[in-house]
Structures are given as structure tokens and as C-alpha cells.
Amino acid sequence: MENYPLLNLFWTMLWFFLWIMWLFLLFKVVTDIFRSDDLGGWGKAGWLIVALLLPYIGVLLYVIVRGRSMGGRDIEAAREREAAFKAYVREAAGGEPKHGSHVDDLARLAELKDRNALTDEEYQRAKTKLLA
């Protein structure tokens, strides 16, 4: 332990942490390059070459030049995923009925029955009609 003082351990961990952070940023930049619709094939190839051949400078340059639009693409992708999820849930649930949901109608029927506005027989007939 004498050969490796605590301060050296601190610096080693700091550099390792910065290297890991740069790797995450590199993956984010490469993903953004391929996801970007406003770049053509040559533009994507150019940014990819810059990011990979000049690792630290290329990644930082990309973030400086295209960082704002990078955030916009992230937000747009999140909105698209949310819309797709909501569409899937609606489709899986069988869509929405045209005149309100059956759950709401059943709740209204139960409320009418609780207020004695409907008899048990009328309630059962209406419930059967709704569920059919």
C-alpha cells in the first residue's frame, strides 16, 4: 500500500470516472448521429469519422455544434414512444366506445339503483343490455 498513496488512488478513480462518462457521451453522440434526419449520409459519415478519429475533441465539438438539436431529438423520440404506448394501450383495451365507456354507464346505473330510481329488475335488464 505504501507504493500507491491515497491521492494517487483518488486521481486514478477520477480519471476512470471521466473515461466512463466520455464513453457514455460517445455512445449518445453516435446514436444521435444515426437518428438525425437533418443530416445526409455524408454528413453522418463525416461526424462519425470526427467523433471516432479525434475522440475527445470530436465528441465535444459535436455536442457544441449540435447539442441543442440533440436535446430536441431526444424529446421528440420520447413523445413518439409515449404516443405509440398510448395507442397500443387503447388498441389492447379494445378502443373507446362511441357513446362513453361501459364502465361509466355501469357506474351510472349503480348510482341510479342506489338512489332507488331503478328497481332491481330494471337494473338487471339495463345491465344485461349494456354488457351484451
CB of 62 closer than 8 Å to CB of 50 = yes
Taking 90 as the threshold, does the pLDDT of residue 121 lie above it? no
Q: For residue 27, which of 53, 48, 57, 43 has the smallest C-alpha distance?
A: 48
Q: Count H helices and E strands in the chain, helices first.
A: 5, 0
Q: How do residues 5-28 score in pLDDT, each as one tens digit?
A: 888 889 999 999 999 999 999 999
Please state, in angstroms and rounded to a whole number, the distance separating the CA atoms of residues 2 and 53: 39
pLDDT of residue 16: 95
pLDDT of residue 38: 87
In the chain, where are the structural domains located?
A: 99-132
Taking 80 as the threshold, does the pLDDT of residue 51 lie above it? yes
